[in-house]
Chain A
Amino acid sequence: MRTLRYNQALCEALRQEMDRDERVFVLGEDIARHGGVYRVTEGLLERFGPERVIDTPISESGIVGLAVGAALLGMRPVVEIQFMDLITIAMDQIVNSAAKARFVHDGALHAPLVVRTMNLGKGTVYSSQELEAWFTHVPGLKVVMPSDPYDAKGLLISAIRDPDPVIFIEHKALYRIEGEVEEEAYTVPLGQAKLPREGDDVTVVAWSSMVGVAEAAADSLADEGIGVEVIDPRTLVPFDRERVVASVCKTGRLVIVHQAVRRGGFGAEVAAAVTESEAFGYLMAPIRRVANPGVPVPKSGALHPPALPGEADVIGAVRDVMAYG
């Protein structure tokens, strides 16, 4: 099969959906003439023209609000918010206007928009915040976080076709990753986890850029004879609870990995869901989370190690749960 980079896979998804459905249009800063800072919207202006590919002023709140209105009246907008930290400006429109639209109209209207944004990872104070947990806390929103090119394309197509507002979170560290991607349009359903590694000893749940980190850790640990099962939920809402619970019933040990801050992070939700499930009786060790310990991501690389968890932290946590009891 042909390979594409993550950003190219996203671009292809947008192009194919815009070809298929003329209600789909894209808007955001630097997306049209420039083709997007990370080239996700490259070539769309030339193909679809300025009415469907709109360079907007710096108005994050305004453009998300506008997309909600357009979605309510029959369009399928895909908004780009250049990076996650900027979505803070648009929270009112996302949390209040978008998320509640179906509910307040009792289903007579709904807001099928996609807000694409990106976690920067190793950025700096105002460009590294991984805020996915915020959206999972708001009823009415779906939250999608693809970890490779294949899922990027299939999940974006699903998100665009989905009848409800979707927060679609990409990752800068993944844009250049290459992988096999089918040429035709296809969907990856929301709410279905995948298992990039199977193993019997420890379940590691990770998403977005941390899937690769978890896989690398799993490979090193395999050499020590520890079988790690890596689960990538791919979407946080809806969440494939059954897949995770079944895995923990098998392994009896759970490590959850995210780059976001531990306190109030989505890892807490996963841990709670497992302890509330039939997997509780199978647990042989406390659940461990590998996450940011509660600090802003600083500018200086010298200060990064405690702030940005990596492979060594995952390996350490797996060994801890293996050694327990």
Chain B
Amino acid sequence: MDRKDGIGGRELTTKDLVEMYRLMLQSRCFTEQVLVWYEEGRLPQGLHPSVGQEAVGVGACYGLGPDDWVIPSLRTAEAFWTRGVTMLEQLNAMLGNAASVSRGKETSHHAGYPERGILAGTGIVGGSIPVAVGGALALKMRGSEGVMVSFFGDGASNRGDFHEALNLAAVLEAPVVFVCENNLYAQTVPAAVGMAIEDIADRAMGYGMPGRVVDGQDVVAVYAATQGAVGRARRGEGPTLLECKTYRFLPHYPIFEEKRPAEEIERWRERDPIEMLGRRLEEEGLLDEQGKLEMEEAIEAELQEAIGEAEGMPMPDPQEVFENVYREPVEAMGL
């Protein structure tokens, strides 16, 4: 059902909507619990909470197939869940134990899971945007049907890398979808201080690709817009920039003091993506209070079991730090 206005994807079934709800809820439960464990000193690190932004990652990844790839931003926890990564796997990565996907070398939010089409991002905000274009180009050169989805924040869109990447993607007609999570802040700096425009989507025009503003609190809207852009990319029509307007309900990272206006946070909390979809599911008789409760209990149970299992895993041997710096051993470098 691809339409001229960029909307695409198949009709969502009841099952799809309930699953999208579950993924967002899982993300919320995981994040809130991890922040408590971090505070208690049970986990060695926190995370960049995506609370309030769950619809973006779930909506954008939901319709992707096994040949597609994503690079999450520092905050796109939902890309992992929606691509099938488990809470246990991400807890292993946070603990840096021997069962973690990188055997302790890198943490959860910059983890890569190649067999699930997830490339690792880096700690350098915006650095992965050109990498996504290169990945998309490789898919095209290899004759794959796959599409690359690149996630990044409003702050990242001020980096030269963003601008170079969009230009390159357009001239090379790379099958990539740029998904900007515009949560109105880069750490403590308001988007309005960092850029003189209202809509990041407008930047697309300067590079010769469509740019669309999407309601980032509405998971179905994000899904439809992403599927429209993915369809375009698959048909060889080139890249699209989607700007999902959203908001993080919590500070940038646990150590940051909250200095944003309380009234602004309140206003956005009224558009909680989980509650918005929850209301719709309830109105349509697809999921009632009881059903939601049971879902949450199941998630909590999985989470508690996962932390127990993750904490029981051994730590990697310290000497493993010398592995996979190169294919050869580090000593083979002579110096």
Complex Cα distance A126/B109, Å?
A: 12
Q: Considering the complex, give the chain B residue whose CB is closest to the CB of A33.
A: B188
Question: Using a CB-CB cutoff of 8 Å, which residues 82-96 of chain A contact chain B?
Answer: 85-86, 88-89
Complex Cα distance A125/B187, Å?
A: 20
Complex Cα distance A88/B159, Å?
A: 13
Q: Which residues of A contact B96 (CB under 8 A)?
A: 298-303
Complex Cα distance A298/B103, Å?
A: 10
**Contact of B318 with A57 in the complex, beta carbons under 8 Å:** no
A294 to chain B, nearest CB (A): 5
Q: Which of B160, B189, B320 is within 8 Å of A303, CB to CB? A: B320
Complex Cα distance A239/B68, Å?
A: 53
Binary contact readout A282-307 vs B (1 if CB under 8 angstroms, 0 otherwise): 00000000000111101111111111
B188 to chain A, nearest CB (A): 4
Q: Considering the complex, give the chain B residue whose CB is closest to the CB of A299.
A: B107
Q: Which of A57, A86, A306 is within 8 Å of B124, CB to CB? A: A86
Judged by a CB distance under 8 angstroms, whether A3 is at the interface is: no
Q: Which residues of A contact B130 (CB under 8 A)?
A: none
Counted as pairs of residues, one from A and one from B, with CB atoms less than 8 Å apart, the total is: 120
Per DSSP, are chain B's interface residues mostly helix, strand or loop, or mixed?
loop
A15 to chain B, nearest CB (A): 20
Q: Which residues of A contact B127 (CB under 8 A)?
A: 89
Asked if A126 meets B333 with Cβ closer than 8 Å, knowing A34-B188, A301-B96, the reply is: no
Q: Which of A29, A86, A262, A298 is within 8 Å of B189, CB to CB? A: A29
**Contact of A58 with B330 in the complex, beta carbons under 8 Å:** no
Complex Cα distance A88/B188, Å?
A: 22
Known: A58-B125, A125-B110. 18 other contacts (CB 8 A): A33-B188, A33-B189, A33-B259, A34-B187, A37-B187, A57-B189, A58-B155, A58-B194, A126-B122, A263-B335, A298-B104, A299-B45, A299-B106, A300-B96, A303-B104, A303-B105, A303-B320, A305-B318
Please list the residues of chain B having a beta carbon within 8 angstroms of any beta carbon in chain A. 44-45, 95-97, 100, 102, 104-107, 110, 122-127, 155-156, 158-161, 186-189, 193-195, 259, 315-316, 318-322, 325, 330, 333, 335
